[in-house]
Structure 1
């Protein structure tokens, strides 16, 4: 829960985009650590979609758009960017809502190239605008199927018999053309209030997920009476019809003791269970953060929290759970927006896999961050590829609302998955080798060694004997090796200290090595080879006697003598050769004792 001080030196960033109010509604992180933030920017009383890319260190990415910023107005008085998806080719889709001066609103999609310019091959010069009804059409979610088709969700206002909102899904082909094979001419409108309670009332989608089988999950709310609003989780078939095998008639609901239960965000877990975040007034006159977990069939998971739900009060004001994320080790994070007139902060709640508070995070599972301004509003959170938590929203500075971001460390996220760690003895050396399955933010490995004796306090005496650079972030298996040219005789131990780019580290398990020096006349290959300017040569002898180790040029001229003294069997000798004064080329080193001679070749490369 600590702020990541490599992010703008403080862990926090505030950016003014337009001359008026600017706010982030959604953020996502590229594989290289750059952050895409979408929302709106205001200038001259016109709100436009704003897309901003930040470098991993929190500075604006000047290679994107204009000084890191792209704005777009859908020819309307108000435009908002609600959600962004980074495509496999690094192009970016933004789901948008627009509203003109007559209060007529609609759905829009903006597609950008990776440098922030519009992708002119998509829709009408990189953009698509569409309406379902001639009243309100509110776009709140966008996801992309495996086949490249684009699904948007939200709600529309049905004008008859009385104006009420209804679930609305629409699907586009990858080029921005509406997909007529979905629903009715590309639209799937559903009155969930009618299905749940046989009434005509408000209901709407606030978040979407596409399942591996192509079915669509949608979370939001459904009003069943003037005093009762339920959290609704619905599953649709790939053609836009409700999936009757999910929940009850395709819908799972939460109806706690209060009058309002609302779903704003969701996350599908690897086991198929579904987390939802929102708010409820079940235990208070004000709203409190609501976290729930559903089974994959749409029933509440009674092994989580209190029969599937966790209600958490944060402030005395209304607290809305607006985003949810789950880490690779099963921790759950909920972003909370506190609807305070003054004094609100970025707020994060952390939970264990069973719904209990994660007391290792912040204070009893709660972290708040003040940007030193009057009102800080967090709107979204996401876990970056390096395992850090990125939270985005707005901060008010001198009366102006601005983009705001913060980045946090998450305890327990291991940046490197080590799949094997072993050794072999190669003549007079110990060769260590290890393999990683994936790496995130990996700076490298320090190699540590300890002998078979303990300190006075009973601890092993570990020492650093080398370092191997890591591959940073990769999803491919990587192999590493390290040679210890002068191992300890007898029993010793080795371990790896994996270090990420922020200085955080994890130790590997230890391996035990029993190294015995052979009692034979043996000359090992120098290490490293090729070398510049120095290398090491090790040897052993079978019997006691005067022993010489000499260096010769390629022409046979002796150019150096490294060892000329009595040598004993059962010992390993390690000699360094500094070739700073020599030219590049092939050299030979010769070990002599009496009539026994061994010679090897080495290469100096400058």
Structure 2
């Protein structure tokens, strides 16, 4: 039997990585920034996801078309995907857009957004691609599912994948006088799930509501966040649904919360994540009467403010941003909180990453006083951040777009060093291909090998200290689903021991 040393990476330059936390990773792209563009026009990134092999997917738009881009782990374009790393899709005759993305355990790619026809009528769309970038014709017959709301424009603003393969989507529609928000669900084959339906969210009488993000709890309940505008104020909106689409009466007031941390009538949420202890963290912006601060709000499971976080549950980061700022969350395995953002009112807007300790205080070991900054060139390279992701190798990726002289706007991904050492080298044994998907892991992940595992095979999951933390049951099959919901966030090594040797790869539990 071949034996590999699992954790020797812990003995190497961790101190150097920590010292660089909050700076761009010089090994990624060009100086920490990777770009893609459609010749002759502009394009922008709106969301990102990572495959189990480390490649990074970014979805967005270019005029009239949806856009899907795949980068290698080093920031180079993956020329084996689509055309030189880019896939464009013309859904309708006018303008199309995708702003949410997720990767299935079988490596198929799910995106959601909207299309506009020639009369500028908007329709919600969910699309699925194969791993090589082709539309998946087993999904809604042509790879594209649509949900039409009569007499209104509709948009998908977030999506999440259930362990059973169903796709939960949050969105908004404009019915002529006000915005209305909703949650709906599609089956794995792309058909609309009529048993769940389309659940409208009304935050208050005569309010205009916009949902911006969605997250699933381990028990299947659905948390959404966004903004609610009434005749007087604009406030942060948070709601939780049961698995059947009904509002969860055990959360907030009748399943809903309206929050106004700034006190000046202009607050909004853009991102939500579920922590391993069940607490809910929301990121957004808040008016301070002279500009906008970034805010992070931590809620207990019942929707009450968590008094151990920030000041009575709210962390305020003075930022000087504008109302276009779109903070986005990622959770590190060590409990720290990462918020990607841009200072859009600055002379040279730059991408920034804020890192908070678990208690909501700024992490002074990261960047400058808790904030890392990209290296934009003044007057020539304005930048905007849209979504943030903690990568399996410990990096922090931010997707968005960068303005330059030519082409005018490029899709961009920035990678920052976190100082977090995931602790396990990815050991490649080509005699026994072995892939965990998805990675990072929310709850379930699938281990796929090219042969059935013989009797006597074993699977072991260890933490970064080498301690065995989980021993999944093994059957004689080539694809094994592992329930990792009991594991706290962090970096882990999963090993398969069998008669031909031992194969070990790493994964991140979110």
TM over 0.5: yes
Q: Give the match for residue 3 of structure 1.
A: 24
- Per-residue deviation, residues 541-570 of structure 1 (Å, max 9, x unmatched): xxxxxxxxxxxxxxxxxxxxxxxxxxxxxx
> Map of 1:132-281 to 2, 5 A cutoff?
132-159=149-176, 163-182=177-196, 186-193=197-204, 199-223=205-229, 225-256=230-261, 257-281=263-287
SS state of the match for residue 476, structure 1? strand
Residue 129 to residue 369, structure 1, CA distance change in 2 (3 Å): same
The 1-side partners of 2:373 and 2:98 are apart by 26
Q: 1:475 aligns with which of 470, 480, 493?
A: 493
The 1-side partners of 2:118 and 2:343 are apart by 30
In the alignment, structure 1 residue 437 sits paired with structure 2 residue 462 = yes
Residue 34 to residue 104, structure 1, CA distance change in 2 (3 Å): same
In the alignment, structure 1 residue 415 sits paired with structure 2 residue 423 = yes
> Map of 1:6-85 to 2, 5 A cutoff?
6-42=27-63, 46=64, 48-85=65-102
- Per-residue deviation, residues 160-196 of structure 1 (Å, max 9, x unmatched): xxx11122111111100011101xxx21112222xxx
Q: Give the match for residue 126 of structure 1.
A: 143
Q: Is the 8 A contact 1:166 1:192 kept in 2?
A: no
Q: 1:95 aligns with which of 112, 120, 132?
A: 112
Identify which range, 342-351 or 86-95, moves more after superposition: 342-351
Residue 66 to residue 364, structure 1, CA distance change in 2 (3 Å): same
In the alignment, structure 1 residue 379 sits paired with structure 2 residue 386 = yes
- Per-residue deviation, residues 235-266 of structure 1 (Å, max 9, x unmatched): 01122121111111101231231111111101
The 1-side partners of 2:334 and 2:386 are apart by 24
Residue 50 to residue 354, structure 1, CA distance change in 2 (3 Å): same
Q: Which has the higher contact order (CA 8 A, sep 6+)?
A: 2
Q: Give the match for residue 367 of structure 1.
A: 372
Q: Give the match for residue 502 of structure 2.
A: none
TM-score by structure 2 length? Answer: 0.77
Q: State the Cα RMSD in Å.
A: 2.2
Q: Is the 8 A contact 1:82 1:141 kept in 2?
A: yes
The 1-side partners of 2:99 and 2:151 are apart by 21
Q: 1:86 aligns with which of 94, 103, 112?
A: 103
Count, aligned residues: 414
TM-score by structure 1 length? Answer: 0.65
Runs (4+) off by over 6 Å: none
SS state of the match for residue 168, structure 1? strand
Task: Show structure 2 runs of 5+ residues with no match.
Answer: 1-21, 426-459, 466-490, 498-505
Q: Give the match for residue 353 of structure 2.
A: 348
- Per-residue deviation, residues 310-365 of structure 1 (Å, max 9, x unmatched): 12122364473421011011111101133337510011111100000000000000
- Per-residue deviation, residues 191-244 of structure 1 (Å, max 9, x unmatched): 222xxxxx2120121111122222111111122x32311111100112212111
Q: Is the 8 A contact 2:137 2:143 kept in 1?
A: yes
1:38 deviation in Å? 0.5
The 2-side partners of 1:316 and 1:405 are apart by 21
Q: Is the 8 A contact 1:360 1:411 kept in 2?
A: no
Q: Is the 8 A contact 1:276 1:291 kept in 2?
A: yes
1:391 deviation in Å? 1.1
Q: Is the 8 A contact 1:439 1:475 kept in 2?
A: yes
